Homo-oligomer: A and B are copies of this chain.
Amino acid sequence: MTDLFPLATDAVMSHALDRVLSTIDGGLDQSCRRLFDLLRIPSVSTDPAFDAECWRAAHWMVAELSDLGFAASVRPTTGKPMVVAHWPLAAATDRSGVLFYGHYDVQPPDPLELWETAPFEPWFRDAGDGRRQIVARGASDDKGQLMTFVEACRAWIAETGDLPVPVTILLEGEEETGSPSLAPFLDAHKDELTKSIALVCDTTMLAPGRPAITASLRGIWFEELTVTGPDRDLHSGLYGGPAHNPIRVLSRILAALHDDTGRIAIPHFYDGVASPGAGDETATGFDGAALLAGVGLSVPAGEAGFSIQDQLWTRPSCDVNGIWGGYTADGSKTVIPSQAHAKLSFRLVGGQDPAAISDRFRVFVQDRLPADCTVRFRPGGGGPGLTVDATNPAMVKARAALHDEFGCDAALIGAGFSIPIVTQFKHVFEMDSLLIGFALDDDCVHSPNEKYDLASFHRGTRSWARVLAALA
């Protein structure tokens, strides 16, 4: 079976694909039925009370994949189990295939009273604008998305008895809890899991009918600092004026991090940041103003001269995530505290080196410290940003496949956040990822009444069928 296409021509493949797509179209009801079965399992990873349900979801996936002919197994970890499945078995030691990543765990459904129906009883909702939607916790994130890939495999196997490329599937059950078991698992199974490329289905389209590939992710670097002034808390009546107040010192340092144009003022901070690209929201359909309006804001706070899209996707940022010091309970206290604290994070892009950013940030702080004050840094952490080259052959093929399905170009979009597993694939496995997802911004991911458009599920499945063919 593994040599189905030794002589495959484009024409043969094209013919096979047509049959596969027909199978997908004809089997949509049954595909939905299987997805509904998975959605009925409340595999909430954040609540220990649902531990058995997470195991049940893992076993459900293994049963499903085994039925298809995958060599699938549940792999225990110190947390929730992993699911690993190979097609064919030889894919376990063959690096030429693809690795698909998804997660079977879901967010808790709270607050329950805001759901129209029970969160683990999936149903079809008519959105009124012709869109039919699957409503349930996990419908989009990530059960619906991962099942698009599984159903595409099913159709290929049903029609041809094989898959166009060797496929390894890795599903975790801790994505919603920070993936504590993932890094050790990847380390221990590097040989088994390193493939030619990773396929990740946990991202969005631009809009219904407008596909996208996420081609860049910002990295992140965390810092925490404590500024100490006097060696004990002081009474502001006895010392106010001549005594250094570490909150004042810290405020001045934090205020100096950005100049008046919103640019980060740490020397050499922008080393490795590429010259501005297009940054054209009309090209991607990204609506930055709507994003801000959704949280009560209207004036972009990032670097002047850059679009909101660029401020999020292609430009680094710096945020204070927490600050504390002195008296914070009710009422007032005339204290000059000995210490003030802040937690910061930098979002990094392109070739910015986290270690260098950390060094430069610390020098920046030291340079602004009055002679009397000291600073202590906690060990930082994080990783660099990631960009998938648009000329990567797999990327070119996947975009062509998406174009065939949707009749328009797949936008290359960025994401302001990190997907740690993608960074690990790159830096530990030296494996690129294609981030292709069919979710929509209105899917209410992590919120009540989460949904996945039936069209997302259907065309997502068709898209993966095409991508698998294209990667052959």
Contacts and interface: CB of A to CB of B under 8 A. Distances in A.
Interface in A271-324: 288, 291-292, 295-303, 308, 311-312, 315, 317, 319-324
A406 interface: no
A381 interface: yes
B243 A254 contact: no
Contacts of A333: 321-322, 343
A241 B320 contact: no
Chain A interface size range: 35 or more
A69 interface: no
Nearest to A234: B295
A129 interface: no
A371 B328 CA distance: 27
Interface in A347-361: 347
A381 B332 CA distance: 9
A301 B234 CA distance: 14
Contact of A319 (B236, B303, B308, B319): B236
Copies of the protein in its oligomer:
2
Contacts of A250: 251
A376 interface: no
Interface in A324-357: 324-328, 332-337, 340-343, 345, 347
B252 A255 contact: yes
B417 A320 contact: no
A245 interface: yes
A236 to B, nearest CB: 5
Contacts of A328: 322-324, 341, 343
Interface string A244-279: 110110111011111000000000000000000000
A159 interface: no
A101 to B, nearest CB: 18
A239 interface: yes
A248 B258 contact: yes
Contacts of A34: none
Interface stretch (A2-10, A37-45, A222-230): A222-230
A343 B332 contact: yes
9 contacts: A230-B295, A230-B297, A236-B321, A237-B418, A241-B303, A241-B311, A242-B311, A321-B333, A323-B323
The 6 closest A-B pairs by CB, nearest first: A237-B417, A231-B296, A255-B255, A322-B326, A241-B311, A241-B302
Interface of A: 218, 220, 222, 224, 229-232, 234-245, 247-248, 250-252, 254-258, 288, 291-292, 295-303, 308, 311-312, 315, 317, 319-328, 332-337, 340-343, 345, 347, 370-372, 381, 415-418
Given A248-B255, A254-B255, 14 more contacts: A232-B295, A237-B416, A238-B312, A240-B345, A241-B416, A242-B288, A243-B301, A247-B323, A255-B256, A299-B370, A301-B372, A323-B328, A327-B343, A334-B345
